[in-house]
Each structure stands twice: as C-alpha cells, then as structure tokens.
Amino acid sequence: MAQILLREPLPPTAVHLCVDMQNIFAPGAPWATPWMERVAPVVTALAERFAARTVFTRFITPERPQDLPGAWQRYYCKWQEMTRARIDPELLDLLPSLKRLVPPAAVVDKTRYSAFAASGLSGHLTRRRADTVIVTGSETDVCVLATVLGAVDRGLRVVIVTDAICSSSDEGHDALLTVYRGRFSEQIETATAEVILSQWQS
C-alpha cells in the first residue's frame, strides 16, 4: 500500500500530542486496550525523536463519582473501582517507556475525553505558538476522537498517525479512520509514523 504523504511540510512549531498512553489502558489493566502493546513502540519512537515537542495527556478519574457533573456520575457509579479513592495511582501514570521522557516532554492532565476540556492544553499550545498537532494515542474512537475534534474546532492543523493510535474496538477504530479520511478530509490528515519521521525535522 502506498504511503499517504502530507499536504505540506510539518512546521517546527508542530507538537506531538500523545493521548492517554497510560498503564490503565495497558494489557492486563482494568481498561485494557488490546492494541496498545502493538502501537506503544511506534509512539515511543516518535516521542523519543521529538521529546521536547511532545505533550502527553493523562486521563485522570475523579476521587468520587459526585465530583463530576451529570452523566459522568452514572458512569463512575458503574466504574467505582476506577475512581481515585480506590484505584492504584500508578495505573493513571504514563507507560514507563514514555514517562522517562518527562521532561523535556510535557504532561497535561484531563478529566474528560477531550484533551481540550477542563485542562491547560489550549494555553500550553498558545504559549508554544503551535498551530499543528500530530496525534497519537488511545482510544481512536473515544479520547483521540474527542481531542481531534477539539483541535479541528480550534483551527489547528491535525495529523493523525495511523499506526500509532489504538482502540479496544476494532470496528470503532476502522470506522473512525474512514470518517477521519472521508468526512474530515479537508481538516484532518492521516499518515504513518514512517512518513512523519521522514518529513518532520528534529
């Protein structure tokens, strides 16, 4: 299959935005994402090459279900063992291969699916004058989806690294790649890590 090339060069202000590559989603964890083990080396290679340009997000659960509004309370009543009152805090940390890159890589914590919701990400990108995000992480059809749409709404150039995102649902992953490449083809680009590594200058 031919490589999908980028429309234009990646600027030096681009940021590698890595979504929720945490122990809680690793194999054997409560919210395991089966493909994470497969994509982790690809994500790590990108993050190692561009550590100073990488921002990791962490999905942080509430202390108690009542700490979040509305339907989130029902969600965490179902998943009470995942609240911070009960969970092993190490599960919320980044995968070890990524944690060691902080610093110079940055970390932004969030309590919602989108990395732009209730977090400091927008301000962080503004301070860096970043107009492009290169997105990797978990999950293709949940937190990556919400984050990508948040970036699109902000007018950022969005590049999704197709072999560096993963989901717990093969159907959801495949469907969202089709949507990203079809309905959002004017606002979202997709490329493999090989293309990114060859076209983004370190």
- pLDDT block averages, 10 residues each, the chain of length 202: 71 96 94 93 97 97 97 97 96 98 97 91 95 96 96 97 92 89 92 93 74
In whole angstroms, give the CA distance from residue 46 to residue 59. 21
In CATH terms, the fold of domain 15-61+93-199 is: Rossmann fold (3.40.50)
- Residue 2 main-chain phi, psi, to 5 deg: -70, 145
3-state secondary structure of 21: coil
Residue 3 confidence (pLDDT) = 56
Q: To which residue do tokens 């911070």 refer?
A: 84
Burial environment of residue 151 by CB neighbours within 10 A (0 to 12, 13 to 18, 19 or more) = buried
Q: Which of 113, 115, 135 is nearest to 123 (CA)?
A: 115
Residue 6 confidence (pLDDT) = 80
In whole angstroms, give the CA distance from residue 115 to residue 66. 21
Q: Which two tokens stand for residue 59?
A: 């999905």
Domain ranges of the chain: 15-61+93-199
Residue 1 confidence (pLDDT) = 44
